[in-house]
Structure 1
Amino acid sequence: MTTHINYSTSDEIVAAQDVVATEEQASALSMPPLIIEENLRSYLDTEGVGSGPMEIERIGAGQSNVTFRVRREGADVVLRRGPRPPLPKSTHDMVREARVQTALAGAGFPVPNLRCVETDTAVLGVPFYVMDYLDGDVVTSVLPERFQPSEHRHHLVKSAVETLGQLHSLDVRQPPISELGRPDGYLRRQVKRFSELWPQNTTRDLPIVEELGTWLEKNRPQSQRHGVIHGDYRIGNLMFAKEDKPRVLAVLDWEMATLGDPLADLGYLAATYATCESGSTVMELTSVTRDHGFPTRDELIELYAENSSLDLSELHWYEVLALWKAAIFCEAIYTRWLKGERADDAQFSRHLESGVPDLLEAALQRTR
């Protein structure tokens, strides 16, 4: 027996279109489903991933790729796939994301164990991969009871920062890690690329985007060294072990990973880190760190500095870059929603009309 997904939406038609039993049912829908059960069951059988009926549950609330937990006899796994087509170019590359995790696992970095990768779109309509389910906690708006003591709150952030430092310490000169990207000129390419993406992704005029792009290029620092960068490193993308003292069990969501300037990760983590003093934005996705006992943003940065030789005096530039990029990325989501291409996302996208300008204003504040 298969358990379908229960969405936090009143649109039952959308929920019914997420998982269907057969190709015949899929062909009758107005939009492609996310999972066709008979196809997935056949695929998992072929790959030797469990047997028998499946129980399927959507997990997480990612605004980019989609993740499901799939349980059947002999297997408890997670399937990760891109959203419904049409997909923007150079995004949602599940094959590359799987390759990144395989390389990092070989270097001893904590990532989920991959079981199989499927490039044939005949199964689900898009490439996807399957990994072992990890029994841990992702911390966003609710703090697990065992992490409530003040010292554990501090250590949760410290563990996150130390894991980021571990990532940045990996040797990027040797394959397969050296094959994950071109680190030279990373910052220049980022500013150029996102400046070009804005007019492609928007239907409205926000002059502050160009203003910030000009500032970023004019004040662009020289990278001090190269490293593996996650691209979306935040507490909500970490899985913590079921232990009293917070320990990162695995880092999740490697869609944006590449080789480049490590401070881009730290700038993103700092810029999106929620504190009781900071104004809220749509990118502050782990709201619990606003509570008493969590480090401030400055203390978070100091935790990274304790084990790093990098000069952090220009970190504000990287924070501006992070918020500016996030605004452009979110604008693409908002535009797709306006066009009806994200019908299953009524909660997040509708807030981006004001959420994107708020991100841009937060970025502008950091230039002063």
Structure 2
Amino acid sequence: MSGPPGLDLDRLREHLAQHAPGLVAGQLRAELLVGGRSNLTYAVTDGTSRWVLRRPPLGHVLATAHDMTREYRVLSALGPPGFPVPPTVLLCPDPAVLGAPFYLMAYVDGVIHRDPAELERLGPDRVRALVLALVEVLADLHALPPAEVGLADFGRPEGYNDRQVRRWKRQLDASRGRDVPGIDHLHERLAAAVPAGGAGTIVHGDFRLDNVLIGPEGGIRAVLDWEMSTLGDPLSDLALMLIYADRPMPAADGPTRPALAVPGHPDPAEIAAHYARRSGRDTSGLRWYLAFAAFKLAVILEGVHYRYVRGQTVGPGFEGIGAQVAPLVRQAHETLDGSV
């Protein structure tokens, strides 16, 4: 075997030689890209060309999660109409090659802003412009007619919010390794007040600043990490973006702080208003969506923590994930109570 954990480069090269002849010109090298907390992402090169490979984590794959075929399909559908996503290259649904399904996409040059100091160095004007551009990209995604891009059957918008509440409770139950105070009561509160939602759109499912590649001119070059995309309620994407903006960003040097604390970052009310103007949607009932987004993120992080304590994760930065779950649960309760 050659390559980083989870990626056998010899087997990958054999597969590409058979299914994408002429693609690879030399010996393959790869490195694990840090930052992801779910699917594993690798930069792969033959010395001339570069690609990115995505595959599920090494263990504890939950039902409906880490679906490479769905992620590949939505990327392939959104690229032709001009939405900023990496071009797709090849899908391999056969787990016999690398131990799990995977796909290959083109490498897109750009910067991912994960560190508050990096973001602050842009200056207040550029930070503000970047965040508002991100909101516009989200609204533009929600404006794409699913049938026109070949995604009419990509999900069931009717009853989306109700199914999401049930789904993330199942995900929580499948990742239980410790007691998380208040999380079951939070689920009960959310389930008792599910909004009907409006017309369904394509939703990303994990839309946030550090899931986009930014070019040197400040434009958004590609939206990444589509594993949870489907057809559903667009306000769920907006709410999750706001929850992420209020979470501490990991800092390489200096104190952690949320993106909202970086000078120039629009506040949640301005973000919601900008989205409403761009999309034409009513955002006045956002409170439930914000509480549910905090619950969803808590479940995601609990799943990452579950895999970490069992040695099923690869890369640095997982040791502090578990401590982030309880504050999200408290925030969701406070949001439903109207205290935040």
* Cα distance in 2, alignment partners of residues 237 and 307 from structure 1: 21
* Cα distance in 2, alignment partners of residues 261 and 306 from structure 1: 17
Bigger relative contact order, structure 1 or 2 (CA pairs below 8 A, ≥6 apart)? 2
Query: How big is the shift at 1:218?
Result: 2.0
Q: Conserved in 1, the CA contact under 8 Å of 2:159 and 2:196? A: no
Query: How big is the shift at 1:71?
Result: 1.4
Is 1:54 aligned with 2:28? yes
**Would the alpha carbon gap of residues 52 and 281 (structure 1) be closer, same or farther in structure 2, given more than 3 Å must change?**
closer
Q: How many residues matched?
A: 330
**Would the alpha carbon gap of residues 157 and 136 (structure 1) be closer, same or farther in structure 2, given more than 3 Å must change?**
same
Is 1:306 aligned with 2:280? no
Query: How big is the shift at 1:143?
Result: 6.0
**Would the alpha carbon gap of residues 77 and 175 (structure 1) be closer, same or farther in structure 2, given more than 3 Å must change?**
closer
* Cα distance in 2, alignment partners of residues 144 and 93 from structure 1: 32
Unpaired runs of at least 5, structure 1: 1-19, 23-31
State the Cα deviation string for residues 139-173 of structure 1 (Å, max 9, x = none). Answer: 11056689723221110001100000000001124
Q: What corresponds to 1:267 in structure 2?
A: 239
Of structures 1 and 2, the larger Rg is shown by: 1
Q: What corresponds to 1:25 in structure 2?
A: none
State the Cα deviation string for residues 60-81 of structure 1 (Å, max 9, x = none). Answer: 3201011111111442111111
SS of alignment partner, residue 333 of structure 1: helix
Matched residues, percent identical? 33
SS of alignment partner, residue 51 of structure 1: coil
* Cα distance in 2, alignment partners of residues 199 and 37 from structure 1: 35
**Would the alpha carbon gap of residues 170 and 82 (structure 1) be closer, same or farther in structure 2, given more than 3 Å must change?**
same
**Would the alpha carbon gap of residues 197 and 65 (structure 1) be closer, same or farther in structure 2, given more than 3 Å must change?**
closer
* Cα distance in 2, alignment partners of residues 132 and 271 from structure 1: 30
Q: What corresponds to 1:131 in structure 2?
A: 105
State the Cα deviation string for residues 205-230 of structure 1 (Å, max 9, x = none). Answer: 33512221122122222212211100
Q: What corresponds to 1:93 in structure 2?
A: 67
Give the AA of the match of 2:76: T
State the Cα deviation string for residues 168-214 of structure 1 (Å, max 9, x = none). Answer: 00112446121211111000101122223333321333351222112
State the Cα deviation string for residues 12-37 of structure 1 (Å, max 9, x = none). Answer: xxxxxxxx429xxxxxxxxx931112
Is 1:169 aligned with 2:143? yes
Is 1:182 aligned with 2:156? yes
**Would the alpha carbon gap of residues 336 and 21 (structure 1) be closer, same or farther in structure 2, given more than 3 Å must change?**
closer
Give the AA of the match of 1:301: A
Q: Conserved in 1, the CA contact under 8 Å of 2:116 and 2:249? A: no
The correspondence of residues 46-85 of structure 1 with structure 2, limited to 5 A, is 46=18, 47=20, 48-85=22-59
Query: How big is the shift at 1:320?
Result: 0.6
Query: How big is the shift at 1:351?
Result: 2.2
State the Cα deviation string for residues 324-364 of structure 1 (Å, max 9, x = none). Answer: 0111222222223233333x35632x324432111101111
Of the structure 1 ranges 302-311 and 194-203, higher mean CA displacement relative to structure 2 is found in 194-203
Q: What corresponds to 1:29 in structure 2?
A: none
- Structure-2-length-normalised TM-score: 0.89
Q: What corresponds to 2:81 in structure 1?
A: 107
**Would the alpha carbon gap of residues 135 and 359 (structure 1) be closer, same or farther in structure 2, given more than 3 Å must change?**
same
Is 1:361 aligned with 2:333? no
Q: What corresponds to 2:2 in structure 1?
A: 21
Q: Conserved in 2, the CA contact under 8 Å of 1:140 and 1:286? A: no
